[in-house]
Chains A and B, each alone.
Chain A
Amino acid sequence: MSAAVSTALQQGLHSCRTCGLLSRPAHGEVEGRCPRCDEALAFRKPAALQRTWAFLIAAAVCYIPANVLPVLTTTTAAGAESDTILQGVILLWSPTGWPLSLIVLIASIMIPIGKIIALAFLLISVQQGSIKSNEQRVRLYGMVEFIGRWSMVDVFVDTYTASLVQLQPLMAVEPSAGLVFFAAVVVLTMLAAQSFDPRLIWDPESEQEVRHA
């Protein structure tokens, strides 16, 4: 960040999250309401780190049952069969079907855990007041936020399959408990990404600049 750029925080100004209006905090108050849209104002997202941590931990907790519990139960004439995500990946893995298997592996296993690790890294780096590779960290955050919704693909596919394949008594597909946890992981990581305030990434740097200045 170039030194010439000063942040709203440095100017002692609030920026409204909803309408983007800059306002000066009311007298004696650090935080107030937006004069235009009545939105609660804060210099930074309130308790951003705490909330992000909370969502992230919840997501990490849910990630375990999401992978251990079966996501789909296929009932055929041969009997009921429950598969976890990883079993599905193994099932799909064949000389010709490996790209599909790879997609499932990346979308359903690697991306959620990648998001959790990325957010954890961002949180830790912010808490430690790191000023290194800010731009990369901001890009990382952007990626996490962008990719978040696509993890739901797996949940969508499973729910569609479950609703379409209902050929009782020959075959039936039903979602299992694992799917709920998987959806929870996706939602919680999205919430975590949202509650994180990327401005915190460059706050330490601007503070340093202020001190230097």
Chain B
Amino acid sequence: MPDRDAPPSPIPDSKIRSRRQTRLSLVWIIPIVAAIIGAWVAVVKIMNQGPKIEIVFRSAEGLEAGKTKVHYNGVDVGQVATIRLSKDYKHVIATVEMAPDTEGFLVDDTRFWAVTPRISGATVSGLGTLISGAYITFEIGKSPKNRRSFEALDTPPVVTGDLPGRFFVLKTTDLGSVDTGTPVYFRRLKVGQVASYELDKDGRNLTVKIYVYAPYDQYVNPETRFWQASGIDVSLSATGVSVQTQSVMSMLIGGIAFETPATGQVLPPADPNTVFTLYRDRAEAYKPPPQNPQTFLLIFNQSVRGLTVGAPVDFRGILIGEVTEVHAEVDLKTKEFLIYADITVDPQRLGVRTAAGQTGVSKGKNRKLVDGMVSRGLRAQLRTGNLLTGSLYVAFDFYPDAPQYKVDWSQNPVRLPTIPGQLEGIEASVAKVMNKLEQVPYQEIGNDLRKTIAGLDQTLADTRRTLDNANRLLEPDSELSQEMTSTLRELKGAARELRLLTDYLERHPESLLRGKPEEK
């Protein structure tokens, strides 16, 4: 350093300033504050970070990483962070960052699905997403178990838990036009929806889950009948044409209707998830289920074309059962082909009732009843149900003239007697006539006829000859006619003479006695 007491210079001395000993500058507060704020922001950010969940989708259509939100009742509660393919490239895994405090509803049975514009049958949903893009929403489950990995539903559930009501299970063999969201009607009032359907594992039946909203769910009781109310049911009967529909909507998109048969007693509402049968139509639904079905065997010696399994068995028009099996067998003894038809009959429907509450009839009583009826002429007959389709049904009726038959109860199934069917009866009669006709000796009749005709010819020739002769006789220049003419002339002369005579006699009656006076 240069000397302080150097020769005076024009540079002036600075004024004295009180010195502050600043070993550590106060400026260090700034980075500390910055660090504190940064740390605070980081803490807040971490605190605000909700759980990360994974949702497996079938397709990421409409989903966008960093954009697609998770909404619940319109509240934004999360965002899709990343979207990637699963290892087998079959699914799409979306990682979603949920808002804080959402752990409560990320439970085992929470169901997620993507909301996209959807048009299916009756419902158009998610139109808002056309503008805003798809979003993910969910239905909060009730399970206490937490979960972080979910599988999204392919279609939004029709029924979310926030609407009170009850689920019921319907079993059917044919889905018809039932789809998810298909309405359920009660007295033409829309009271529920089809929540889901699936094919049973054995592939025989379909299980349709429906949701009936409160307070209509109380009208479903164990006796309730469900049927498919889709389309139009036109039936032609003696009273005219009757058209059965539920509503225009159900005509177009189908529906399920239910009704409870009016019974005297008031039944308690059915429990949730009670299993019902879904019938094809109302008539089938109201067909009472067989309570004590009995199988009988009918043997027909005729074609059963048109007799199908399920064909009705009726007694004087009352449905009492159906055909369960039709097959042909050959009788080795008689070398005859016979058609065996198994039928199930519900004797209950014939009005065979015992004390109330007791289902079925005792075996012995039943046998006696059937024996009695058969001896009085109860016979089964194949009848044509529909002339157009030629479908047949089995009809029971009494034919007192039928040959006697003894029911053999040792067989299983018991065989009941049959008589030829209507058409068959006609056929038999016709055949009989034909047989008789066949016995007519046409050959001889023909020969005789020919002979007769030949004789007739002869006769005719003779007749013609006779007529010719007669003609000849009557011709003007014939001998006969000439003789006739002269005879007639003479006869005329004779007549004149006779007249003259009578005239003379009139004038001269005395001449009769005296004779003609001499001319004077």
Contact between A26 and B13 (Cβ–Cβ < 8 Å)? yes
Size of the chain B interface, CB-CB below 8 angstroms: 35
Answer whether A78 and B132 are a contact pair too, CB < 8 Å, given A13-B11, A51-B25, A58-B33. Answer: yes
Interface flag for B22 (CB, 8 Å):
yes
Q: Give the docked Cα–Cα distance between A9 and B11 (Å).
A: 14
B14 on the interface (CB 8 Å rule)? yes
Tell me whether A77 and B131 are in contact (CB under 8 A).
yes
Give a binary string over A1-25; 1 marks a CB under 8 Å from any B CB, 0 the rest: 0000000001111100000001111
- Specify which of A10, A12, A61 is in contact with B38 (CB 8 Å cutoff): A61
Interface string of A39-63 (1 = CB under 8 A from B): 0110000110011001101110110
Given contacts A47-B22, A69-B41, contact A32 B15 (CB under 8 A): yes
Does B76 touch A at the CB level, under 8 Å? yes
Shortest Cβ distance from B33 into A: residue: A58
Q: In the assembled complex, how far is the CB of residue A155 from the closest CB belonging to chain B, in whole angstroms?
A: 17
Q: A61-B35, A69-B41, A177-B41 are contacts. A41–B14 as well, Cβ < 8 Å?
A: yes
Indicate if B9 sits at the interface (CB-CB under 8 A): yes
Query: Which of A25, A68, A79, A177 meets B69, CB within 8 Å?
Result: A79
User: How many angstroms from the CA of A27 to the CA of B16 in the assembled complex?
Assistant: 8
Answer yes or no: B335 CB below 8 A from chain A CBs: no
- Asked if B28 and A50 make an inter-chain contact with CB atoms under 8 angstroms apart, the answer reads yes
B165 within 8 A of A: no
At the interface, yes or no: A135 with Cβ under 8 Å from chain B? no
Chain A contacts of B28 at CB under 8 A? 50, 54
Q: Is the interface of A mostly helix, strand, loop or mixed?
A: mixed
Chain B residues within an 8 Å CB radius of A158:
none
User: What is the number of residues of chain A that contact chain B, defined by CB distance less than 8 Å?
Assistant: 46
Tell whether, in the assembled complex, residue B2 and residue A10 are in contact, meaning their CB atoms are under 8 Å apart. yes
B31 interface residue (CB < 8 Å to A) = yes
**Residue of A with least CB distance to B131:** A77
Shortest C-beta distance, A83 to chain B (Å), equals 9
The reply to whether the CB of B19 lies closer than 8 angstroms to some CB of chain A is yes
Q: Are A29 and B16 in contact (CB under 8 A)?
A: yes
| Residues of chain A lying within 8 A (CB to CB) of residue B14 | 14, 23-26, 29, 31-35, 41
Take A12-B1, A33-B15, A78-B133 as given contacts and tell me if A54 and B76 are in contact as well, using a CB distance cutoff of 8 Å: no
Candidate in A59, A78, A177 with the most chain B CB atoms within 10 angstroms:
A78
- Complex interface: chain B residues within 8 A of A69 (CB): 41, 45
A88 close to chain B: CB less than 8 A: no
Q: Does A209 contact B (CB under 8 A)?
A: no
Mark interface residues in B60-74 (1 if CB within 8 Å of A CB, else 0).
Answer: 000000110100000
Q: Does B262 contact A (CB under 8 A)?
A: no
Q: A13-B11, A65-B41 are in contact. Are A51 and B27 (CB under 8 A)?
A: yes
- Give the Cβ gap from A18 to chain B, nearest Cβ, in Å: 13
Query: Contacts of B131 on A, CB cut-off 8 Å?
Result: 77-78
Residue among B9, B16, B35 having the largest count of chain A Cβ atoms under 10 Å: B16
Docked pose: A128 CA to B317 CA in angstroms: 117
Number of residue pairs across A and B with beta carbons under 8 Å?
114
Check B34 for interface membership: any CB of A closer than 8 A.
Answer: yes
Whether, in the assembled complex, A188 has its beta carbon less than 8 Å from a beta carbon of chain B, the answer is yes
Whether A54 and B35, one on each chain, are in contact in the complex, defined by CB atoms closer than 8 angstroms, is no
* A55–chain B nearest beta-carbon distance, Å: 6
Question: Which residue on A lies nearest to B30, using beta carbons?
Answer: A58
Task: Let me know if A103 is at the binding interface, CB within 8 A.
Answer: no
- Tell me how far the C-beta of A54 lies from the nearest C-beta in chain B, rounded to whole angstroms: 4
Task: Output the nearest chain A residue to B40 by Cβ-Cβ distance.
Answer: A65
B327, CB-defined interface residue at 8 Å: no
Whether the Cβ atoms of A188 and B34 lie closer than 8 Å is yes
Q: Is the CB of A46 within 8 A of B17?
A: no
Within 59-108 of A, Cβ neighbours of B (below 8 Å) are at 59, 61-62, 64-65, 68-69, 77-81, 87
Expressed in whole angstroms, the Cα–Cα distance for A79 and B77 within the complex equals: 12
Q: Which of A11, A24, A81 has the most CB of B within 10 A?
A: A24
B118-148 contacts to A (CB < 8 Å): 131-133, 135
Could you tell me if A47 and B13 are in contact, using CB atoms closer than 8 angstroms? no
Distance in angstroms between the alpha carbons of A80 and B33 in the assembled complex: 31
The CA of A11 and the CA of B2, in the complex, are separated in Å by 6
Report Cα–Cα, A29/B34, bound state, in Å: 36
Contact A33 B17 (CB under 8 A): yes
The answer to whether A24 touches B42, judged by C-beta atoms less than 8 angstroms apart, is no
Least distance between A70 CB and chain B CB atoms (Å):
11
Q: Considering the chains assembled together, what is the distance between the CA atoms of A184 and B34 in angstroms?
A: 9
Give Cα A18–Cα B42 distance, bound, in whole angstroms: 41
Asked if B13 and A27 make an inter-chain contact with CB atoms under 8 angstroms apart, the answer reads yes
Tell me whether B12 is interfacial, beta carbon within 8 Å. Answer: yes
Q: Which of B16, B25, B30, B38 contacts A65 (CB 8 A)?
A: B38
Judge whether A79 and B16 touch: CB under 8 Å. Answer: no
In the bound complex, residues from chain B placing their C-beta under 8 Å from that of A41 are: 14, 17
Task: Tell me if B4 is interfacial: C-beta within 8 Å of chain A.
Answer: yes
Residue numbers in A under 8 Å from B11 (CB-CB): 13, 22-24
Is the beta-carbon distance between A25 and B13 smaller than 8 angstroms? yes
Contact yes or no, A32 B16, CB < 8 A:
yes
For the complex, what is the distance from the CA of A201 to the CA of B45, rounded to whole Å?
41
Q: Is the CB of A54 within 8 A of B30?
A: yes
CA distance A62 to B40 in the complex (A): 12
Given A31-B19, A54-B25, A62 and B30 touching (CB < 8 A)? no
B15–A35 touching, CB < 8 Å:
yes
Chain A residue numbers with a CB within 8 Å of B12 are 23-24, 35
- Chain A residue contacts of B22, Cβ below 8 A: 46-47
Q: What are 10 residue pairs bridging A and B, where the CB atoms are less than 8 Å apart in the complex? A: A26-B14, A32-B15, A40-B17, A41-B17, A58-B34, A59-B34, A79-B76, A81-B67, A181-B38, A188-B30
Known interface pairs A12-B1, A47-B27, A58-B30; 16 further A-B residue pairs with C-beta atoms within 8 A, sorted by A's residue number: A22-B11, A29-B16, A31-B19, A32-B17, A33-B15, A38-B15, A41-B17, A54-B31, A57-B34, A57-B35, A58-B31, A58-B34, A61-B35, A81-B67, A181-B38, A195-B27
Residues of B within 8 A of A (CB): 1-2, 4, 9, 11-17, 19, 22, 24-25, 27-28, 30-31, 33-35, 37-38, 41-42, 45, 66-67, 69, 76, 131-133, 135
